[in-house]
Amino acid sequence: MAKGKFDWDEIHRRMKAVGDAIAGGYASSPEERTRVLRQRAAGLARAEEKEDAVEVLEVVEFLLAHEHYGIESRHIREVYPLKDYTPLPGVPSFVLGLINVRGRILSVVDIKKFFALPAKGISDLNKVIIIGNETMEFGILADAILGVRAIAVNAIGPPLPMQTGIGEEFVQGVTGERLVILHAARILADKKIIVHHDV
Amino acid sequence: MKWFVDLATRTKLFLSFGLMIVFMLVVIGAAYIGLTTLRQSQETLFRDDFLPSIELLKLRSSQNRAHAQLLEMMMIEDRARQQELQQDIAARSREVDAGLKLVAASLQGRTRELQQFDELVAALTEYRKVREQQISLIYGEKSIEAENLDATVQDKLYNRVRTIAVDLGNTAIDQAKERVAAANARAERLAQIFLGISILAFVLSIVVALYLSRIIANPLREITTAAQRIASGDLEVAIRNNDREDEVGNLTQAFATMVRYLNEMASISRQIAGGDLAVTVSPVSSRDVLGRAFADMTGYLREMAAVSRQVSEGDLTVTVMPVSDKDILRNAFASMLANRRRINQEISDGVNVLASSASEILASTTQIAAGMSETATSVTETTATVEQIKQTALLSSKKSRGVSENAQRSALVAEQGKSTVSETINGINHIKELMETVAESVVMLSDQTQAIGEIITVVTDLAQQSNLLAVNAAIEASKAGEHGKGFAVVAQEIKSLADQSKQATEQVRKILGDIQKATGKSVLAAEQVSKAVEGGVKQTAESGESIRKLAESISEAAQAAEQIAVSSQQQLAGMEQVALAMENIKQATHQNVLGTKQAEQAAHTLNELGQKLKEMVSRFKI
């Protein structure tokens, strides 16, 4: 407005275009639709090639304190958004509290605190990955669930001791992309995770 | 007439008054003779003329009355009355007879009148005879006859008597008139003679009086006038010398001698007054007081002159001895000599001082002359400066006139500016309203953006849940092993959709954030614009006020400039006067320079004079 010349005609034209777009319900043009579909097709096509070649490990990849972690999907029952939890008094600090998942009461563990990892930045911690075996079932807090990936076994290297700060026994391997694959069976089997306190 | 003049004054007066008395006697005699003649002629007139004529008138009257009574006797019958009338008629006849006698006496010597008188007497006698007949007829009762007789005879006789009597009377009256005329002529002649003699006597008296006055009073008056002039100190009187031998002549000669003596003394006095002391005065007699006094005076003055000469030659040693306290001149000389000696001493001292002072004056005057020259230079410079100031004043007058005109134009512009400011305020207020509308719209947009954000949050939530569902589906598919492979693909696809939805919502959120930022900026801008507009209004109002004040200031400036122009004009006039005054001062200074040079010259002269005076004073012997 401070500028002497203001192209009111251009403004009117643009406003009209926006109005038309809203009125048309954002109907994308046929070319746009075709392009999106092609892109998707291309993505799917690449995934198919890799799988057939080598033995793969299916992992669920998630973010925790800006680090990428993965857990074998065979240990995971489901993922669940952390909506309401009940803090539980008299438990170690790594136990956040209790949640109700379709009638089942589960404890939620913050593995950063469990592994005594340093807090790095602010995290959302609004997802819960529910892992379990025949004896144990509990939720692990995650910042975000990135999805299920199939990772070739030969692409997984041995864990570097001082790399993650997590105990060597709990790390199954690390990929070249710095994805730390946690050993869910050992975590489930770890005695420390069982809280037994007399209050 | 010399003999008369030489007569003694008493004799002259006696002779003159005697002559006048003689004239008076002559006049008296002539008057007496004239009066006597007049009286005689009047007596003759009365006796000879007026008496007979009166008597004749009486005669006629008596005759008429008698005739009338006779006629009455005829008319009446009464005897007694008739007799009474007859006696009356007889009485009238006697009166007539007495008158006739007087007339006869007055008519003596005049033959023609006497003849008429005789006829009268004869006619009268006839008449009386007839009357007697008539009376006897009347007594005889014969009145008719008497009347007849009257008508025939008596009437004629009566008329004859009357005619003659009238004639005689007229003659007498004529004669009387002649006599009166003659008497008047004589009286006239006498009066003329008397008047002539009187005039002659009067003229002679005046002549004698004037002559006496001339020969006695005039010389006396002249001498009196001369005496008065001499008394007032005028000796230039001329006394006419005559060889008369009477008292007047003696007086004149004595007066002339006195005037000569006085003139002589006066000329001696004049010589002495003129400083001529060589004059000799010899007294006329031993009692010539004035002559001796003059001789003493000349001697005294000569002595004083000798003293003065000695003093004038510078000899102040001379002594003067006054004879008394009243000897003013000697006293004065003595004190003068003493004073001179003293003054000379003082002059000597004074001259010394004068000489040194003159030298100092000379030096001072030289300095003053130099100073005057400098003053003249300064005055010239000042005059030039004043001329420059005058030019400056002229320039400032023009400039201030121009400033005044500019200020008036500026006042007009300021007036226009005021109205423009008012319009501007209106415009800005309109802008403010529009901006507020814009801000409201933007806020509405912001609110709606928030609504969109809420919707987007819901969509994000949905996308996340979809994502989790997809992950769970994938997990379930992997658990299913080989049979779950197809499901895993579907799950992968769902996850992809969820990711895309999430990305889309992220984009929308980002766009909404941009919109929110833009909206915030717009609101802020609108607020700033509103505030700016308010400030603009305030500033514009202030500008209006400033322009109004500016207009006032300009108006005042215009007035001030006008006043300055007027003042400059006056200043110019004043500077012209100053220039004129400076010109005068310049001239005066020039004259002062000249004057100072003259003063310098004079001081030189004064110095020389002082030296001279010193020499001169040293020459006096004290």
Cα(B96)–Cα(B102) distance, rounded to whole angstroms?
10
Joined tokens for residue B458: 């819901």
Higher-confidence position of B208 and B558: B208
CB-count burial class (<10 Å; 0-12, 13-18, 19+) for A93: exposed
Residue of B472, B489, B492 to mutate, testing the A interface (most A Cβ within 10 Å of its Cβ): B472
pLDDT in tens, A1-13: 444 567 888 888 9
Question: What is the pLDDT, as a whole number, of residue A2?
Answer: 44
Whether A147 and B470 lie within 8 Å, measured CB to CB: yes
Distance CA B415, CA B408 (A): 11
Shortest CA distance to B565 belongs to which of B404, B408, B456, B415? Answer: B404
User: Could you tell me which chain B residue has the CA closest to the CA of A61?
Assistant: B471
Report ipTM for this prediction.
0.74
Q: Is residue B87 part of a domain?
A: yes
Residue B472 at interface with chain A, using a CB cutoff of 8 Å = yes
Side chain identity at residue B596, one-letter code: T
Chain B: closest CA distance from residue A197 (Å): 34
Rounded to a whole number of angstroms, the distance from the CA of A92 to the nearest CA of chain B is 28
In a domain, B348, yes or no: no
Chain A hits for B491, Cβ within 8 Å:
148
Answer yes or no: are the C-beta atoms of A183 and A75 closer than 8 Å. Answer: no
Pairing of strands A180-182, A67-72: parallel
CA distance B507 to B503: 6
Whether residue B252 contacts residue B221, with contact meaning beta carbons closer than 8 Å, is answered with no
B489 contacts on A by Cβ (under 8 Å): 44
- Sorting pLDDT into bands at 50, 70 and 90, what band is A27? low
The answer to whether the Cβ–Cβ distance between B468 and A79 falls below 8 Å is yes
Q: Which residues of A touch B476 (CB under 8 A)?
A: 78
Pairwise CB contact (< 8 Å): B475 & A148: yes
B151 touches chain A (CB under 8 A): no
Q: What would the pLDDT profile of B391-444 be if each residue is shown by its tens digit?
A: 888 888 888 888 888 878 887 888 888 888 888 888 888 888 888 888 888 888
When scoring A22, A79, A128 by the number of chain B Cβ atoms within 10 A, the one with the most, hence best to mutate, is A79
CATH architecture of structural domain A55-193 = Beta Barrel (2.40)
Q: Is residue B357 part of a domain?
A: no
B478: distance to nearest CA of chain A, Å? 7
In a domain, B70, yes or no: yes
CA distance B431 to chain A (A): 12
Q: Is A74 on the interface with B (CB under 8 A)?
A: yes
Of B465, B478, B525, the CB nearest to A73: B478
Name the domain count of chain B.
Answer: 2
The two beta strands, A86-87 and A95-101, are antiparallel
CA atoms within 13 A on the CB side of B200: 12
pLDDT value at residue B190: 82
Q: Where is the domain boundary, B202, B224, B246?
A: B224
Which residues in chain A (46-65) have CB-CB distances under 8 A to chain B? 47, 58, 60
Residues B334-350 pLDDT 10s: 888 888 888 888 888 88
CA atoms of A9 and B419, how far apart (whole Å): 34
Q: How many Cβ atoms are within 10 Å of A92's Cβ, its own excluded?
A: 12
Structure tokens at B547: 């322009």
Question: Do residues A57 and A153 make contact, with C-beta atoms less than 8 angstroms apart?
Answer: yes
- Which of B206, B224, B242 delimits the end of a domain? B224
How close does chain A come to B553, measured CA to CA in Å?
A: 35
**pTM: predicted TM-score of the whole model, two decimal places:** 0.37
Range of the domain at B599: 401-603
Whether residue B38 contacts residue B190, with contact meaning beta carbons closer than 8 Å, is answered with: yes
* Nearest chain B alpha carbon to A58: B478
DSSP code of residue B108: T
Q: Is residue B361 part of a domain?
A: no
Residue limits of CATH 2.40.50.180 in chain A: 55-193
Residue of A1, A47, A74 lying closest to B479 (CB–CB): A74
Q: Which of B224, B239, B264 is the last residue of a domain?
A: B224
Within-domain flag for B52: yes
What mean pLDDT is predicted for residues B116-122?
Answer: 86
Q: How many CB atoms lie within 10 A of CB A133?
A: 13
User: What residues have CB less than 8 Å from A1, skipping those under 6 apart?
Assistant: B525, B529
Of residues B471, B479, B492, nearest to A145 (C-beta): B471
| Burial class for B238, CB neighbours closer than 10 Å (0-12, 13-18, 19+) | exposed
Tokens 């010193």 locate to: B614
Percent of chain B at pLDDT > 70 equals 99
pLDDT for residue A100 is more than 50: yes
Is residue B325 assigned to a domain?
Answer: no
B612 located within any domain: no
Interchain CB contacts (distance < 8 Å): A and B? 49
